[in-house]
Amino acid sequence: MLTAIRDIGRWLRRTKNIEELETLIQAPFENTDKKFVLFVKINIDESKYEGVVREDYDSTKIQRYLYRRGSSNGPNTTPAAKITDDVEKKTFPQKITAWFKKYRDLDDTGIVAQIGDVLLNNQNKIIEDIKNALRKDDKNVLLTIKVVKQNQEHYLGDLEVFRTLLKTIVNTQVGKGSTAKHICSICGEKKQVSGDPRIFNFYTIDKPGFIAGGFNKADAWKNFPLCYECKLDIEEGRRYVEQKLQFKFHGLNYFLIPRLLFSDVQPELMKILLDTKKIISLKEQAKKRITNDENDILEIVSREKDVLTVNFLFLRIRKNRSDEPILLLIEDIFPSRLREIFAAKDRVDTLFSRSDYDDFTFEKIRTFFAHSSEGKRDYDLDKYFLEIVDATFRGKKIDFSFLIEFCMAVIRREFIKEEREGDFKKRVDDALMVVMFLKELGLLSFKEASSMKESIFSEVFKKYAGMLNSPEKTGVFLLGALTQLLLSKQYSVRGAKPFKKHLKGLRMDEKDFRALLPKVQHKLEEYDSFDKGKAQIAEAVSRSFLEAGENWKVAVDELNFYFVCGMNLAPEIAAVVYKDKKEKEV
């Protein structure tokens, strides 16, 4: 993955002539309104503090602001910091004055030491002036230095001493590099290497387990030796991927990282992906999507030949970037695999091509792997959702009972809400589409029906991917359809469905299902609605239960899933038994 990012960064830096400082300097704010900069003015001709100046943030001045992040608990790489904490106790002393203390000996001109002394001597006054310059509604404020020299004001980036120090600090990674030349883990060349890249914060040397040889930072380079040139390329590559190839994925974000398999092949897609202007038109060309991101370009990628692969990097990125844990990394997915996924989506969309069905996307899966309970605000089922995502792209088998457990948890919650029965039906539809999609990809396996007898409903059973492959399953499915016909009749007569109480919150076992059939039949007779069509369904249920015998080896969740599927697909079952009638009783 890092090699792929390095290749992107190298290509960008060479073709677009991006200079070293352009890569090193970072934008303090991204896509936010109302941004400001507070400058502490220092006159170096007179070694004098001249106050705090407030200016509107200007994105065209990023190179002049010379901002670059550093340690969360120490100074940044440059003496500029976002005001996120207590100015008096943290931001000013830890990020600004601490920088001048730490790096004053690296500067031969004496300017850093001079400014540092002025800051220390006027610390209380400066902090007071900063507080007065801040406003109540300020959220995005950069604190930095403005140098007055020969009656002219200079940003940090205007002065050669600070530009040089930035390069020096990043290049040496003070105290963390090797003393001799070693093999870079990315380019494979023998160079001076560092062991603290600080490009992605999922890698750290602050814990003993992350450092070769124990808690000795001097040996950190042994874990991840990285030369300065590769570090710059990776940094530029990450910046581009983050800005242009970051997409939404149902409550999560992922980076789409392309990688060429052959260095002498440059497909048109790769050229577009690495061109800011062309990538916009690429997003407009996408006709189908499997995510909730309008900019999703996976369908475009799926059209390519297998001369490249893509990596999916799911990171949890925090605002202060203190850490960036990897949620999921899916590497080396070929366009042909994406074509298989879109083909499965097409088949499912065709099967469910009715006005009341939405096209399939991963949102259907997310529905059941978002919140463990209705009161949860945060996504606490990300781990399981990402397991399904990973299996889908890699082609790994999924345990059917695991899937149905989560599907039924959501379906049961909707079932008990009388006022929102439309949501219940939709959740069952969603679950059935998810099962069909995963079955189409070969990720769910169902045993072939052994001695199933043909019936008038066999075509319906075959239609749904072989799930209904045993008599107990077909019996429960048909019982669900018959029960729905009763509930519909009951609602048309009484405006309510009191029979729902007999369904035990969809936690019925074999004994409950066997007992449910006569109850449904009896209630239909009470409504004078047990006609020939319903009698055919009831007869098929009885035959299936007899054929299944005793002690069904099907889990409760799975049985209830087939039951609710039967409820939702009652119109298809009714169409079989009422096909000669002008009006079908549903």
Q: Six-digit token pair at 376? A: 């949860």
pLDDT at residue 203 tops 80: no
Closest by CA position to 540, among listed 452, 480, 455: 455
* Residue 104 vs residues 25, 97, 114, 118, 146: alpha-carbon distances, Å: 20, 11, 9, 13, 17
pLDDT band per the 50, 70, 90 thresholds, residue 405: very high
CA pair distance 241, 267, nearest whole angstrom = 18
177-183 sheet: strands from edge to edge: 177-183, 190-194, 226-227
Q: What is the mean pLDDT of residues 166-185?
A: 72
pLDDT at residue 208 tops 60: no
pLDDT at residue 581 tops 80: no
pLDDT band per the 50, 70, 90 thresholds, residue 323: low
**Dihedrals φ, ψ of 403, to 5°?**
-65, -45
CA pair distance 360, 343, nearest whole angstrom = 11
pLDDT at 212: 43
pLDDT band per the 50, 70, 90 thresholds, residue 216: very low
Q: What is the mean pLDDT of residues 262-275?
A: 74
Query: Could you report the per-residue pLDDT of 109-159, keeping only the tens digit for each?
Result: 999 999 999 999 999 999 999 999 998 888 899 999 999 999 999 999 999
pLDDT at 353: 81
Query: Could you report the per-residue pLDDT of 88-99, keeping only the tens digit for each?
Result: 888 999 999 999
The total of other beta-carbon atoms located within 10 Å of residue 100's CB is: 21
pLDDT at residue 213 tops 50: no
Q: Which of 211-220, 315-324, 535-544 has the highest mean pLDDT?
A: 535-544
For residues 11 and 239, the answer to whether their CB atoms sit within 8 Å is no
pLDDT at 205: 44
pLDDT band per the 50, 70, 90 thresholds, residue 532: very high
In the numeric block, the tokens 């910091």 are attached to: 81
Report which of residues 218 and 181 the model is more confident about.
Answer: 181
- In the chain, % of residues over pLDDT 90: 59
* Residue 437 vs residues 303, 317, 425: alpha-carbon distances, Å: 20, 30, 18
Point out the least confidently predicted range of 72-76, 201-205, 434-438: 201-205
Q: What is the mean pLDDT of residues 515-532?
A: 95
pLDDT at 377: 79
In DSSP notation, 304-320 reads: S-TTEEEEEEEE---TT
pLDDT at 417: 80
